[in-house]
Chain A
């Protein structure tokens, strides 16, 4: 048993931590989030330069041979700074599909662009009526000559306004919620027939409603097996869950530290409010929730290569635990800040909002609790 990080991993953490500290202070983040673009391509370029975007890919593919633990480290540091740049959809999700199921030609075509930062991806999986069920798909891909024609509507596709490419789940056969018949495609974001409505999200990112109106894609847009891609989608979603858990840990750590700090400075009734025992215990509970979340994040990350059932059940366990913790930590952070917690002037509100939305991304507590029960 070993819970230590390697020297390289510590270096990655230090480098990212410096980048976040020096270039991602909350005010700078806020002006970027409120700008027209909504993100900072120059940060993306630096991430490429630091090797972060290429980390989880094999050396043959032009990457640095890292794994899930490396992604965890990255996401935790991003969580601390509330980084909005689309590492999760691009590297974890699109990268995951390519790593697990991309043909040589597909890896060659896409991974280089991810590693050098020239290509950005969004993962279009959710649908307006599908809630968190990855197989609940009304988007269709019909065979058309050698290629396919896509039709449908994907909901709240995070990062789509910034993306050069979309990874899309669609039905090539089967009924709306059947396990069989799910396929995955990579589509250029500017392909004819892709209609987007872009908007900001409450947690500082950008997303889109993406409509596919007779979008033609070639045969090699298909990643993985036609009609048999659900297990692949589930695997990538579990990897995304583990990454989100790590991000949550980073955000909770900072939210907790800010709260403790505020309770030291804020005086009422002649004493720092941190002297009130009811608030002390509340902050202890926040800390405990954070520690439990770190443990579950490690567990889920280390089990990503476990047999399918164990992997799924552990990912769901982690998402349940972190969803509960994120709710508690976020709400209490605001409460203990009093009126100041309600303002847009302090960073704490942004942490609360990110923790709120993050809790339901790739499935909320109820969704993952059901999955955990079903796999018992």
Chain B
């Protein structure tokens, strides 16, 4: 057992560090913590990485992966987190990409993988429906074969950033009479510009618009957009969910956020002393760091298992639960740290054009909105209750 990086790994770290320093767009700043990003900004780093050949490190090399070891991938994420980089969105690179190269046709690979790698094509995930959240298999959207097309009808919801999406991957019911609900579902790629696709924004409690309702009315999709076999979509969706979960721990990002929290608590004052020197507050920050250290090593153990050929198993549910609890706690303590300046609704304050009458310190901005927004993390990607159910069943055998 050994936690030290090898000389090669250290050289690798230096290489990626200087690449990031030289190429990460300066105007994005601390983008990973901003609430107000434009769609162009969200793909800016993705596009740069696409050109460099580093946008999909974990893919097999034949599809454009870097062939990095899990340790190198870990270093990669750490180095990005140092500048709090806004990483490529997961819908293409971590979700549909792996499904396509694992189960898709040669044509689909050729057609879709390059755009996912380069960041030129924006993907969204059309799984959830108003009636099918945790119980995803109860989904009702239908795809009915009509010659060499599917005709798709139904309503999806919570479709993240669908307002910018060029393509979406959808779960649709192709066999309403299947013995089990899981057995009649297919995985279908839909061009979001197809007639009958309508995206309506949903406003969230932080005031932002990151999710949408996606209505599908007589949407005609060529059958070649079916991924893998008809009625096998659930298998692919489960494969993908496991991928989604292993990335969700967000350790590197949380480490950066702890540093940021320490910085803020070093500037805030309590009785004239830095807040971070207050034992009550310092204790909470340390607790977070301790939990994060445990999570980090747990993730590394999981990664090592993957390297040894074990796929991400039900243990990844632990990463999801602890990872999201830590992310939520971080935003909560940040809000706590800024005191009274948590209350202003910064998103709706017009810039006065001068610094003469500031509203609180810069670091307080959006602290409440971010706290509110991060409540989503224990709800999506399989809620934390559902994760616990998975562990109950798959690990405890109850």
- B116 to A: closest C-beta gap in Å: 26
Q: Which residues of A contact B270 (CB under 8 A)?
A: 131, 133
B205–A353 touching, CB < 8 Å: yes
Interface size (A, Cβ < 8 Å)?
A: 49
The 8 A CB mask of A162-205 against B (1 = contact, 0 = none) is 00000000000000110000000000000000010101111100
B336–A269 touching, CB < 8 Å: no
Q: Given A341-B379, A352-B205, do A202 and B368 touch, yes or no (CB 8 Å)? A: yes
Taking a contact as CB atoms closer than 8 A, the residue among A195, A207, A343 that contacts B203 in the complex is A343
How long is the Cα–Cα vector from A338 to B372 in the complex, in angstroms?
13
A177–B371 touching, CB < 8 Å: no
* Most chain B beta-carbon neighbours within 10 Å: one of A195, A344, A357: A344
The 8 A CB mask of B247-282 against A (1 = contact, 0 = none) is 000000000000000000000111110010010110
- B339 to A: closest C-beta gap in Å: 5
| Chain A: CB-nearest residue to B361 | A128
How long is the Cα–Cα vector from A324 to B378 in the complex, in angstroms?
20
Q: Given A339-B158, A342-B204, A357-B343, do A200 and B348 touch, yes or no (CB 8 Å)? A: yes
Q: Which residues of B contact A364 (CB under 8 A)?
A: 336, 339
Q: Which residues of A contact B207 (CB under 8 A)?
A: 344
A40 interface contact, C-beta 8 A: no
B202–A155 touching, CB < 8 Å: no
Q: Considering the complex, which residues of chain A in the window 110-139 have a beta carbon less than 8 Å from any beta carbon of chain B?
A: 126, 128-129, 131-133, 136
**Which residue numbers of B lie inside 8 Å of A, CB to CB?**
128, 131, 133-135, 138, 157-158, 202-205, 207, 211, 268-272, 275, 278, 280-281, 335-336, 339-345, 348-349, 352, 357-360, 368-369, 371-372, 375-376, 378-380, 383-385, 388
A309 interface contact, C-beta 8 A: no
Q: Given A269-B135, A339-B379, A370-B280, do A203 and B343 touch, yes or no (CB 8 Å)? A: yes
A156 interface contact, C-beta 8 A: yes
Q: Which residues of B contact A267 (CB under 8 A)?
A: 131
Q: Considering the complex, which residues of chain A in the window 249-276 have a beta carbon less than 8 Å from any beta carbon of chain B?
A: 267-270, 276
Majority secondary structure, A binding face: mixed
| Chain A: CB-nearest residue to B269 | A129
Given pairs A132-B339, A155-B360, A335-B375, 10 additional interface contacts (CB within 8 A): A131-B268, A131-B339, A136-B272, A203-B343, A331-B375, A339-B379, A352-B375, A356-B335, A357-B368, A364-B336
How long is the Cα–Cα vector from A209 to B343 in the complex, in angstroms?
12
- A147 to B: closest C-beta gap in Å: 25
- A260 to B: closest C-beta gap in Å: 17
A104 interface contact, C-beta 8 A: no
B205–A279 touching, CB < 8 Å: no
- A181 to B: closest C-beta gap in Å: 16
A335–B372 touching, CB < 8 Å: no
A243 interface contact, C-beta 8 A: no
| Chain B: CB-nearest residue to A337 | B379
A8 interface contact, C-beta 8 A: no
Taking a contact as CB atoms closer than 8 A, the residue among A176, A195, A202 that contacts B345 in the complex is A202
How long is the Cα–Cα vector from A178 to B133 in the complex, in angstroms?
56
Q: Which residues of B contact A126 (CB under 8 A)?
A: 340
Q: Given A133-B271, A202-B344, A342-B204, do A335 and B368 touch, yes or no (CB 8 Å)? A: no
A36 interface contact, C-beta 8 A: no
How long is the Cα–Cα vector from A158 to B342 in the complex, in angstroms?
13
Q: Which residues of B contact A376 (CB under 8 A)?
A: none
Q: Given A278-B385, A342-B205, A344-B204, do A207 and B343 touch, yes or no (CB 8 Å)? A: yes
Q: Given A339-B157, A342-B205, do A197 and B371 touch, yes or no (CB 8 Å)? A: no
